[in-house]
């Protein structure tokens, strides 16, 4: 289940090739933005070389039942704060999905795809009923042994969350990403890489269409591989953001929210031991607006992740980061996010897997953010804990049970909340 979508300035797209490459601009993060996703959907493409990949095509059906203790992410004193009344703060939600996934391997090329359509039905808040879905197509291409890359399309359509915008009606957010990247191996150790990404986002609710926009970005860099597991690189990235309704007023002064980003960073992947791998990056980001006196940002961005294979069945990932980000359904509200997460996974048996995540993030909204402009300032702290049990009864039948708790503290009363969400799902594949 996806609960919050974040747009990250420096996050890298993980394609089927094991490498660092193009900057995609869309990452999934767990937190307060309520957004249902099909339990049977595939979260990432299979990592496989053309020699290992095989043609396959699967159809799946899935059903997920959820109970949300604070569906609208409202503070406990919402009536005192004058927030609009809702039908019910708590609700049962049923999500029914049907979809396909597979891959086609003509020669050294590989095409992977998956798509699903979901019917979301709310027991009490009927006005939120909706149809959602995802579709992904990835072409992994090769020309000879030194020139390779990928290209694809990523499309999502989901009910927007209620934690970010304050809008308590039904808003369906649609986003389409188009990306392509390439890598040229100069020799056994050195490689050049680069790529482009475009993204369009729309909200169907008029009240929040100020977040409609598009981005274009490109990146390029050089990488040095000192061994099979260790690599170091430098990268430059440029991004251009444009909002459909880009003019706003700040103290009577017209402010154009369109922006440009320039960033540079170094990164490394290093195996400390056979069981411990460090993946890190550090760089500097500069954002400029047409009105340079409002909203401009510059500062360091970094991330560090340690993957520890404690035992053959247990893996623990520690992650810390600082970046400029925004929620997908409120992407003009950019903030500096800094925090950490711990995610242990235990494969108790071939059929039973247990996962958990604990995260904490500090979110400091910058002066170009409409919500920060309207409220003078905004500073949040978000805590999130989740536990999940996955049982694979057969190769065709999977059960998933998850429970998560999230809490947001804020210097703005209207954005404070806490919530407990429990989900149970079953997925069946027609193999």
pLDDT tens-digit map of 283-315: 999 999 877 667 788 999 999 999 999 999 999
Three-class secondary structure assignment of 14-31:
CCCCCCCCCECCCEEECC
* Averaged pLDDT, 156-162: 93
pLDDT tens digits, one per residue of 370-400: 777 777 789 999 999 999 999 999 999 999 9
The CATH number of the domain holding residue 93 is 2.40.160
Token output for 246:
């880009």
Contact criterion met (CB below 8 Å) for 380 and 415:
yes
- Structurally, how many domains does the chain consist of? 1
| Tens of pLDDT, residues 313-354 | 999 999 999 999 988 878 788 999 999 999 999 999 999 999
Q: Which two tokens stand for residue 398?
A: 């999977």
- Mean pLDDT (whole number) for 128-157: 95
Specify the DSSP class assigned to residue 102: E
Render pLDDT for 48-105 as a digit per residue (tens, 0 to 9).
455 566 788 999 999 999 999 999 999 988 776 777 788 999 999 999 999 999 999 9
Please give the backbone phi and psi of residue 99, each rounded to the nearest 5 degrees, phi first.
-160, 180
Question: Domain residues for 206?
Answer: 4-430
What is the distance between the alpha carbons of residues 241 and 214, in angstroms, rounded to a whole number?
Answer: 6
Total-model pTM: 0.83
Give the C-alpha separation, 389 to 368, whole Å.
41
pLDDT at residue number 408: 95
Scored b (16 or more CB within 10 A) or e, 61-99 reads bbbbebbbebbbbbbeebeeeebeebeebebebebebbb
What residues have CB less than 8 Å from 394, skipping those under 6 apart?
Answer: none
Q: What is the pLDDT of residue 102?
A: 94
pLDDT, mean over the chain: 85
Alpha-carbon span 218 to 239, nearest angstrom: 7
Q: Kindly state the tokens that stand for 314.
A: 């247990």
């Amino acid at each position: 289940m996806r609960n919050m979508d974040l747009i990250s300035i420096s996050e890298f797209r993980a394609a089927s090739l094991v490498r660092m490459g193009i900057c995609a601009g869309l990452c999934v993060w767990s937190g307060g933005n309520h957004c249902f996703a099909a339990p049977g959907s595939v979260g990432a493409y299979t990592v496989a070389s053309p020699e290992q990949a095989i043609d396959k095509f699967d159809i799946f059906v899935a059903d997920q039942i959820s109970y949300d203790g604070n569906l609208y992410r409202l503070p406990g004193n919402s009536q005192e704060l004058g927030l609009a009344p809702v039908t019910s703060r708590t609700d049962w939600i049923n999500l029914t999905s049907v979809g396909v996934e597979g891959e086609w391997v003509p020669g050294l090329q590989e095409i992977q795809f998956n798509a699903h359509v979901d019917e979301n039905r709310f027991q009490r808040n009927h006005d939120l009923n909706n149809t959602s879905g995802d579709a992904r197509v990835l072409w992994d291409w090769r020309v000879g042994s030194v020139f390779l890359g990928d290209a694809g399309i990523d499309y999502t359509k989901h009910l927007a969350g209620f934690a970010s915008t304050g809008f308590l009606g039904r808003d369906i957010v649609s986003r389409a990403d188009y990306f392509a990247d390439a890598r040229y191996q100069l020799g056994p150790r050195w490689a050049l890489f680069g790529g482009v990404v475009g993204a369009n986002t729309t909200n169907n609710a008029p009240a929040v269409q100020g977040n409609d926009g598009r981005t274009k970005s490109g990146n390029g860099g050089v990488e040095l591989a000192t061994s099979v597991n260790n690599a170091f690189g430098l990268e430059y990235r440029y991004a251009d953001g444009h909002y459909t309704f880009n003019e706003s007023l700040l103290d009577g002064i017209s402010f154009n929210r369109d922006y440009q980003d320039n960033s540079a960073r170094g990164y490394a992947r290093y195996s400390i031991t056979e069981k411990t791998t460090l993946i890190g990056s550090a760089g500097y980001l500069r954002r400029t607006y047409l009105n340079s006196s409002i909203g401009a940002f510059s500062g360091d961005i970094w991330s560090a992740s340690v993957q520890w294979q404690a035992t053959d069945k247990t893996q623990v990932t520690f992650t810390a980061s600082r970046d400029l980000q925004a929620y997908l359904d409120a992407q003009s509200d950019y903030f500096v996010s800094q925090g950490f997460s711990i995610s242990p996974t235990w494969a108790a048996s071939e059929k039973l897997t247990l996962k958990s995540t604990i995260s904490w993030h500090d979110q400091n909204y910058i002066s170009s953010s409409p919500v920060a402009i309207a409220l003078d300032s905004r500073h949040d702290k978000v805590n999130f804990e989740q536990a999940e049990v996955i049982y694979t009864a057969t190769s065709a039948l999977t059960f998933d049970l998850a429970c998560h708790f999230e809490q947001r503290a804020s210097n703005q009363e209207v954005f404070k909340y806490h919530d407990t969400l429990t989900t149970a799902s079953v997925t069946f594949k027609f193999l």
